[in-house]
Amino acid sequence: MFQKKKEHTVSEWTNDPPKELVPGCLDIWRIHIPSIPVGEIEFLLSAQEKSRTEKYKFDNDRSSYAVSRSALRLILGKYLKENPQKLNFSYNSYGKPALDSLLKRKSHFNVSHSGEFALIAIGPDAEMGIDIELMRELDYLGLAEHFFSFREQTEIKRLGSEFLKKGFYTVWTRKEAFIKAIGMGLSFPLKEFDVSINLREIPQIRIHKSQSVFDTGWEIHDIVTENQYCASLVIPDNKFTKIRAFNFNLKQFEYIKAI
């Protein structure tokens, strides 16, 4: 018997931007990168961010970074009533960015970008990890052998070929959202935890004994966005009672209008 799945799926996106963060509520912002003119937004970046922007070889990667980081500044600035250009970020030893100083306590966030989209998760009080991937044609079983746990490999091999792509990306984004939630990225051993693969059941995560210190209780939520994309969110158990999802629209930001 399947458990109800609905509460662990985010699929309704609104165009009404929120005014503030709400206790117990996590917000996800969806940004369509090609719709945002980079030239109108990249002035928000710090000197360090601008120099990183210049290092990208491909225009798409450059816009993806510049737009998502500038949008992050605008969104955080709006929630925290701070000048978006003056926000400072610090990085943990694995590269996870966070707000600096006192603001860190007010708001946590995580960003992911792939193809034409970026997702930003923001909420008070707890760390989170988000991942979006444009689903490409790949050697799914070969990659699974390399990156997935034994149990995940067994489950993915059971899938019919028509479900393989979605199954692979479901596991991939759920795993990546977890390693981003704990902030370790790929330094966390990917084979030492399992995520479930079945899209009809409430998603589960099982941390192996070797990593029991991280077994503090986690929830996975699937994020339904455009076809061809797969996305997941990982948050601590019972920290957020509500998840809201918004489309990012540059015109709705007062800071931009005032310039």
Given the rule CB under 6 A, which residues bind ligand COA? 65, 68-69, 94-97, 110-113, 129, 131, 147, 172, 175-176, 179-180, 183-186, 190
Task: Please give the biggest Cα pair distance in the chain.
Answer: 56
Question: How many angstroms separate the CA atoms of 156 and 196, rounded?
Answer: 10
Q: Give CA 33 to chain center in angstroms.
A: 15
Per partner kind, with CB cut-offs from 5 to 8 A, the member of ligand COA, Mg ion, none near residue 110 is ligand COA
203 contact, one of ligand COA, Mg ion, none, CB 5-8 Å limit per kind? none
Q: Which is nearer to ligand COA, 232 or 244 (CB)?
A: 232
Least distance from ligand COA to the Cβ atom of residue 220, Å: 13
130 and 177 Cβ atoms separated by less than 8 Å: yes
Distance of closest approach, residue 183 Cβ to Mg ion, in angstroms = 14
Output 21 or 170, the one with its CB closest to ligand COA.
Answer: 170
Which among Mg ion, ligand COA, none contacts residue 68 (Cβ within 5 to 8 A by kind)? ligand COA
Phi, psi of 65 (to 5 degrees): -70, -50
Q: Is residue 205 within 8 Å of 234, Cβ to Cβ?
A: yes
Q: How near is the Cβ of 86 to Mg ion at its closest, in Å? A: 28
Whole-number minimum distance, CB 109 to ligand COA, in Å?
8
Residue 69 interacts with, from ligand COA, Mg ion, none (CB under 5-8 Å by kind): ligand COA
Residue 53 or 112 having the CB closest to Mg ion? 112
Query: Rounded to whole angstroms, how far apart are CA atoms 93 and 97?
Result: 10
The tokens describing 114, both together, are 């792939």
Q: Which of residues 91-130 bind Mg ion (CB under 5 A)?
A: 112
In the complex, minimum distance from the CB of residue 85 to Mg ion, in angstroms, rounded to a whole number: 27
Count Cβ atoms below 10 Å from residue 253 Cβ, excluding itself: 19
Site for Mg ion in 130-189 (CB under 5 A): 131
Determine whether 166 is exposed, middle or buried from the number of CB atoms within 10 Å of its CB (0-12, 13-18, 19+). Answer: middle
Q: What are the C-alpha distances in Å from 253 to residues 71, 124, 219?
A: 10, 21, 31
Q: Give the bridge partners for 121, in sequence order.
A: 28, 110
Q: Binders of Mg ion: how many residues, by CB under 5 A?
A: 2
* Residue 183 binding target from Mg ion, ligand COA, none, CB below 5 to 8 Å by type: ligand COA
Least separation in angstroms between residue 192's CB and Mg ion is: 19
Q: How far is the C-alpha of 47 from the C-alpha of 29, rounded, in Å?
A: 25
Residue ranges binding Mg ion (CB under 5 A): 112, 131
